[in-house]
Structure formats: structure tokens, C-alpha cells
Structure 1
């Protein structure tokens, strides 16, 4: 149910010129239509600088030819643009995704259950635990940039699960969607850092937007308007997000264009895996 998940000029400055000076030559015999065998021609070489074709293309022009949507604002804007394109037009004005599978259709009847929501919370905790562990271990040095950003959710989820337990609910074991995503993130973090950063961005930023909307619906329908810690942050959330944007842009400045493209290409996979966890709410 990707629809539920999603709640969550080419320029060049080249120039070409040619100095139009014909080669100089002299003929030792009077010229006629046909040259006789005794006729000899002398061609005098022109100075190299006077007959050269100059093609100048600036580095800026090369970059502008490959400019990606949002690139002028930083790499995070590129990631945001790609993510928004994976929405349908009904979900976002930038949306381009066509609905092809039944699970991609909009949810017409929203009927969450507490049991389903608990499965969603416990699988989400597995994913956030994994993200925080990866950042702390920092197998790639720049992962350390994302320690203690204020966006971490594991501790908040632990408090919420404890609250549910106190209310008499049985906390389920983590299920396949969460475990599979956690395993995938661990593998990416060690072998494919650009792809890992794509997931890091989408998980945290989606939760801060569409995730909060879902949380409010759940609170209204199932929890008597109880506000869970999962949807609370210490400090100004917009500033916390901006701080992480700045760090992500800083990291991506060291990447090649190919590495950036590879990161962007992982967005759809991120949506798919997050969506499988989100669907647990309706299970």
C-alpha cells in the first residue's frame, strides 16, 4: 500500500571560432588548368596558432548540462524531489507514479486496530534500533555526522511500548517486515553507503511529516487522543530537520555525480520496505 506510505535548462557556454586565413602557396611555373610535371608547388605552413579551431567549454557549463531537479538547492532537495515523484498526482502535486497494483490504490476505508498498530510499532523500533546502532558504530566516518541529531526514535518507542504493556496489551515479537528491513540496512551500511543514506533520509523525514499525520489518526480513533512519545521531539522539529539537511548536504558534496544518482535510485526500495511495515497497522 504505497499510497499509505506516501502519506508518510540545459545550458552551455561553448564557443567556436575559426580564423579565416587561407594557406599561402607559390607556384614556380605560370598556372594553367593542368599542372605539368615540371610544375612544383610550395605550401608554407601557417603558424599553428593562426589556423586552429578553438573549442572552449567551461566547467560550469558541463555541470549545468547534468543539472538535476533541486540540485541548485543541495542534494537533500534532489532526494525530496525524487521521493515526491513516487507519489501519485492525487497525493502530491509533484507526483508522477501510476497506480498499477491493488496495494497502491488509496485507502478508502481506514480501519486500524490496536494489535496491528503494536505490530507496526515493534517493527519500527527494530528499524530505528538498527539505524542508531549503525550511526554509532560508523563503519564509514561520515556516519558519525548523524549521531545525536535529535531525530532518534528508539527511546521514544520503548516508552510507548511500555505504556501499552501497562494498559494490559501483549507486545508482539518483531515480524518479517521489520527484521528484513533491519537486515537490509545493516548490509547497505557496510557495503553501499550512498544507498544507506537514502534510507536514513527517507525514514526520518517521512516520519516527521506523514508519520505524524498517521499518529494523530491513530490517537483519535484508538487511543482516546493519547499523544505517544513516538511523535514528540525535544526542541524545535523544523530546526532539527534543518540541521540534518545541512549535514546530509555536506556529506553529499564529497560524492561524485554517479554516487549521488545511485543514492537517488534507492528511493523506491526505501518506499517499498517502509510501506510493508506501515501496512501492519491495518493487519
Structure 2
């Protein structure tokens, strides 16, 4: 999955990236002009997506999803703390917007009908946040929050070990799949980038 995901990154986002820059969120982060309102929309929509993912994993409509409970990568509770902090600073927390709601609904539908495609989204959402997402968080905090590090970008324990544990679980689950199912999982990568990109773009709104 990583190989396919890298092909959808620009060279600025990853050294193996091959995609030309076509969207505003694909420009180097140093050239971004984020706003607090846009960043709050991004955090709220991200929280909706993580709430949805974590609820699906918890309820496990397919038994294989239960493998991904309590991985240490969960972000919903961290985002709740961050939004509470913004509230204490006097900001109004918006309702989730169209990109977050659309992605959340898509994940629910996918999780019930298409486990291979759903696992692709699970992988890309958590792993992208632990890599490029952290870099974006640092830069935006520098510009808007006087370098305050949000809980969204902190993990309990060694992040590289948490990621490796999830990789091992993904490989274990995928061992049960046919070649067609594995290909189907990889083919979903582009959609996952599209949905996540629409939420990321909220930072610049």
C-alpha cells in the first residue's frame, strides 16, 4: 500500500513522489496561508472521520476489523481535547462541513460492503497523519498558534513501533485475501487521497 500511496504524493511531499502539483494543498507547506477558522474546520472534519473509523473498528462488522482495536494510533480523543482548548481560547467550534460528512458516510457504507477497500482507507488515514500530517501540523502551529503542539500530533509510546505493529496486523489480515482482493484494496488508494485532500484543503479556506 505504501508504494501505491507514494506515487500519489508530489516530490515535495515525499522523495519517492511522482505526482505533479495541481491542487493548492499540494504546494509546499511553507507557502501556505492558513487561517484559524480554516484550521478549526479541518480539525472538526478530521475528528468526524476518526470518530467514524474508530466506531467501525470497535463494532467490527467484519471480524478482521477487530485486529485494529486499541492500536495506539487512535486520534479521536486527542482531537476532542484540542477542540476544547480552542473553545477555552474563545473560538467558536464549527459543525462538521461537507468534506468530513461525505467521507464519513462513504466509510460507513464501505465498511459494511467492501472490507478490502475500507482497510485501504484505514491505512492511508492513520499513516498519512503520522508522516505528512505531523509536518503540516508543525508548520501551521508555527504560523497560527505560536508553535503550540496540539494533542492531535502526540502519541503515547514510540510512534514508529505503533506503526510497525499495525503494519504487521495489516499483513496478517491481507494474507487471507485473494490476489484480486489485494489489487482491489490498492485501487482504492486514489479515492482515499481525494477525500483526505478535500479535508486538508479546509486549512486554506
TM-score range, shorter chain: over 0.9
1:121 and 1:102, CA in 2 relative to 1: closer, same or farther beyond 3 A?
A: closer
RMSD (Å) for aligned C-alpha atoms: 1.4
- Deviation string 1:17-60 (CA, Å, 9 cap, x unpaired) is xxxxxxxxxxxxxxxxxxxxxxxxxxxxxxxxxxxxxxxxxxxx
Correspondence for 1:106 among 27, 30, 37: 27
Name the count of aligned residue pairs: 204
Describe the shift of the 1:139–1:171 C-alpha distance in structure 2 as closer, same or farther (beyond 3 A): same
Output the TM-score relative to the length of structure 2: 0.95
What's 1:241 paired with? 163
Structure (1 or 2) with the larger CA radius of gyration:
1
Question: What per-residue deviation string (whole Å, max 9, x for no partner) do you get for residues 41-84 of structure 1?
Answer: xxxxxxxxxxxxxxxxxxxxxxxxxxxxxxxxxxxxxx000000
Q: Deviations over 1:255-281 (max 9, x none)?
A: 000000000000000000000000000
Q: Which structure's residues are more often helix, by fraction?
A: 2
Q: Distance in 2 between matches of 1:109 and 1:93?
A: 19
Q: Which deviations, in whole Å up to 9, do the C-alpha atoms of 1:77-130 show, x marking residues without a partner?
A: xx000000112345434223245x454762573110100000000000000000
Provide the C-alpha distance between the structure 1 equivalents of 2:37 and 2:25, rounded to a whole number of angstroms.
Answer: 23
Post-superposition Cα deviations, 1:152-194, rounded to whole Å, max 9, x if no partner, equal 0000000000000000000000000000000000000000100
Residue pairs, 1:184-195, within 5 angstroms: 184-195=106-117
Question: Within 5 Å, which residues of 2 pair with 1:1-283?
Answer: 79-99=1-21, 101=22, 103=24, 106-107=27-28, 109-283=31-205
Match of 1:7 in 2: none
Q: CA deviation at 1:136?
A: 0.5
Contact 2:141-2:148 at 8 Å conserved across structures: yes
Query: Matches of 1:117 and 1:90 in 2, distance apart?
Result: 21
TM-score (norm 1): 0.70
Relative CO higher for 1 or 2, CA cutoff 8 Å, sep ≥ 6? 2
Distance in 1, matches of 2:12 and 2:129, equals: 20
Q: Which protein has the bigger strand share?
A: 1
Are the aligned partners of 2:25 and 2:197 in contact in 1 as well (CA < 8 Å)? Answer: no
Unaligned stretches of 5+ residues in structure 1? 1-78
Moved over 2 A (4+): 88-99, 101-109
In 2 relative to 1, CA 242–228 (structure 1 residues): closer, same or farther, beyond 3 Å?
same
Cα distance between partner residues in 2 of 1:209 and 1:105: 15
Farther-moved stretch of structure 1 (191-200 vs 221-230): 221-230
